[in-house]
Structure 1
């Protein structure tokens, strides 16, 4: 079975292919990476209700969600937003940030969900489709144009391109313009020239923070260039994700992500 989302009567998200496409201009198609597609599916299925960051971690990365940094989640939400902007050819806000709670899909844009097997163009007149008339018409308008356009060579090309973009974004500086993640962190003082912030979901005393930074000096390297460090410990503080940023102003902020691991 394949899940198809009809969005605002003009876009369709085909979960099996992780493809977002325009019904008005079927040539406008974006292939999302797997975690990004899973997060988008969770937002669409919620139909305008808030989906917490914890729920998105689990939806996008399954059992390995505890090893995912906040920056990775924000990057995937940003990829989904860019896909909507390109496919819809507009600056409308499809995914809305709810500060300190999570994200939601714009409730002013109706979403219709259909679970169906893959349908070919020749199925249009088949009498075997025993669905209500409205649902059948929706499937004819959404699935058929998509299948006509997503031939195998083009699909492979888009998947490879999306993977390269994701890998590049994960290991290079990114501008944090859409989400002010700093609200999830508490200031913990200075260390080795860096301003230290600890994720509010973690409980670290001043002594524990100092011990962590002493054991892992790499967290506070390069403070002259990126002086702000936003730290999220995992696995009983054995694994640490952190963001190194140059400013708290989200419009101009430049950050890079890092990962450190202690010996167990």
Structure 2
């Protein structure tokens, strides 16, 4: 049997196929990315409950060995809202609880469908789909077939990755400062008050010390640092400030790391 959810008596959500389908107009559908679908499954399974940032991050990413920033979680929540809107639901049913997490409050019915029903095959091959432009789907371009990539293209790719990482950190600091409230306090390390997105204090301490040593960073007097790292992509970042990040007049600098220093993650 396959477990599906009916939202507000009008849209069926199938976590297995990651599809949102309008019941009386099955040609109108949206397919979510896997993390967004997992977040939505947890939210509808806990209808009316507030799920914290930490809970969602652990269930969707950390239990699978990935560690992502709060900004990644918010991007997936935004994708869910776009999907709900595309199939005619009120996107405001998915509420943000400030400094805590997220909540769905709606009419949710669970159904068990027999395995012989293959509802996902027809929508995926449908020749026309008016809702498709609104589908939160990432298009992956084909890789270059040449075995030797031109050196200019390689440099350009590295530059784009660096700029993208810097922009995401800028968004975190300027637009979503309260995201850092979910970080775990690790303690005083090298005269710096350190907080980590990952709750494991021992690993966070080792990673922070390794990054500080590799770049010869010095924490300002009374300074604080927020550590984020992703083992899968061998990327880390430190946001270092002269006081609490939510204070007016705070001065912060962000540092992005990739490569060998992350081998131990």
Q: Same fold (TM over 0.5)?
A: yes
Secondary structure of 1:118's counterpart equals coil
Name the counterpart of 2:71.
Answer: 71
* TM-aligned CA deviation for residue 6 of structure 1: 0.3
CA distance in 2, matches of 1:154, 1:59: 35
CA distance in 1, matches of 2:190, 2:85: 46
- Written as runs of structure 1 = structure 2, the 5 A alignment for 1:167-206 is 172=164, 173=167, 181-185=176-180, 200-205=183-188
Name the counterpart of 1:138.
Answer: none
Could you tell me whether the CA contact under 8 Å between 1:241 and 1:259 is conserved in 2?
yes
Query: Do the aligned partners of residues 3 and 216 (structure 1) sit closer, same or farther apart at CA in structure 2, a change above 3 Å counting?
Result: farther
Structure 2 residue runs of 5 or longer lacking an equivalent are: 142-159, 194-207, 218-224, 241-245, 247-253
- Note if 1:98 corresponds to 2:110: no
- Written as runs of structure 1 = structure 2, the 5 A alignment for 1:72-221 is 72-88=72-88, 92-105=91-104, 107=105, 109-120=106-117, 148-151=122-125, 161-162=137-138, 164=140, 172=164, 173=167, 181-185=176-180, 200-205=183-188, 207-209=190-192, 214-215=212-213, 217=215
Query: Do the aligned partners of residues 38 and 93 (structure 1) sit closer, same or farther apart at CA in structure 2, a change above 3 Å counting?
Result: same
CA distance in 1, matches of 2:110, 2:175: 31
Secondary structure of 1:16's counterpart equals coil
* TM-aligned CA deviation for residue 180 of structure 1: 5.8
CA distance in 2, matches of 1:82, 1:160: 7
* TM-aligned CA deviation for residue 110 of structure 1: 0.3
CA distance in 2, matches of 1:2, 1:154: 27
Could you tell me whether the CA contact under 8 Å between 2:10 and 2:22 is conserved in 1?
yes
Structure 1 residue runs of 5 or longer lacking an equivalent are: 121-142, 187-198, 220-228, 249-255
Normalized against structure 1, the TM-score is what? 0.57
Secondary structure of 1:79's counterpart equals helix
